Chain A
Amino acid sequence: KAGVTQTPRYLIKTRGQQVTLSCSPISGHRSVSWYQQTPGQGLQFLFEYFSETQRNKGNFPGRFSGRQFSNSRSEMNVSTLELGDSALYLCASSSLTGGPTETQYFGPGTRLLVL
């Protein structure tokens, strides 16, 4: 099976702009989670989508939003970019069949630089 893919891999934006990141989960996986990774902060959970519905949401401002399509692909949008939004954004998918086999598989990430 192909792994989790994220596009674009690198992105440079300026303050005030908006950006959309895309994530394609592993085939058959229905849950997609998004994380922001910055040095010293580790991974901060943004939100999780399952069957096109947001099930969990982290402690991020409303500028961060997402959605999931019927094919489980997910997009994340950040509006009115700030310098502090510069980070590696990771997407992870899981199948949610339950049980001890459940885990998250990560994509390579999108590195966003806000100037």
Chain B
Amino acid sequence: AQTVTQSQPEMSVQEAETVTLSCTYDTSESDYYLFWYKQPPSRQMILVIRQEAYKQQNATENRFSVNFQKAAKSFSLKISDSQLGDAAMYFCAYRSATGNQFYFGTGTSLTVIP
């Protein structure tokens, strides 16, 4: 079974600075999708960014970008110009291209310091 590992249970960043959250995964598949989800305190989980494994170009969504290294099975999330509203639990997730089951990491709690 696929596994997703987030080795940083907690991270903090100063407002307006940049922070990178790490994620590694284990799979024998060649085609899959990777996601970063954000879960603010007591609020709904929402999709931050998505990466298709067949694309070499790293995905970008405004201040959020990923560093996808397929050979290393690494998928880190970079948040630029951090804002107070970025404070949340961030989950990395994997989905096979042939199935709809998602595998989630244990999450990284991000604190943004004013």
In the complex the two chains form, what is the Cα distance from A92 to B46 in whole Å? Answer: 11
In the complex the two chains form, what is the Cα distance from A91 to B103 in whole Å? Answer: 14
Asked if B62 is at the interface (CB within 8 A of a chain A CB), the reply is no
Asked if A106 is at the interface (CB within 8 A of a chain B CB), the reply is yes
Number of interface residues of B (CB under 8 A): 21
B80-91 contact mask (Cβ, 8 Å, vs A): 1 or 0: 000000000001
Q: B interface, by DSSP: helix, strand, loop or mixed?
A: strand
Number of interface residues of A (CB under 8 A): 26
Could you tell me the distance in whole angstroms from the C-beta of B18 to the nearest C-beta in chain A? Answer: 25
Q: Give the segment of A14-22, A39-47, A66-74, A78-86 that binds chain B.
A: A39-47
> Are B91 and A42 within 8 A (Cβ)?
yes
> Are B106 and A55 within 8 A (Cβ)?
no
> Are B46 and A106 within 8 A (Cβ)?
yes
**Chain A residue with Cβ nearest B107:** A42
**Chain B residue with Cβ nearest A96:** B100
Q: Do A100 and B100 form a contact, CB below 8 Å, given A42-B105, A108-B44?
A: no
In the complex the two chains form, what is the Cα distance from A90 to B43 in whole Å? Answer: 12
> Are B35 and A103 within 8 A (Cβ)?
yes
A residues at B contact (CB < 8 Å): 3, 31, 33, 35, 40-43, 45, 48, 50, 55-56, 90, 92, 94, 96, 100, 102-109
Q: What are 5 A-B residue pairs whose CB atoms fall within 8 Å in the complex? A: A33-B101, A42-B104, A42-B107, A106-B44, A106-B45
B residues at A contact (CB < 8 Å): 33, 35, 37, 43-47, 50, 52, 91, 95, 99-107
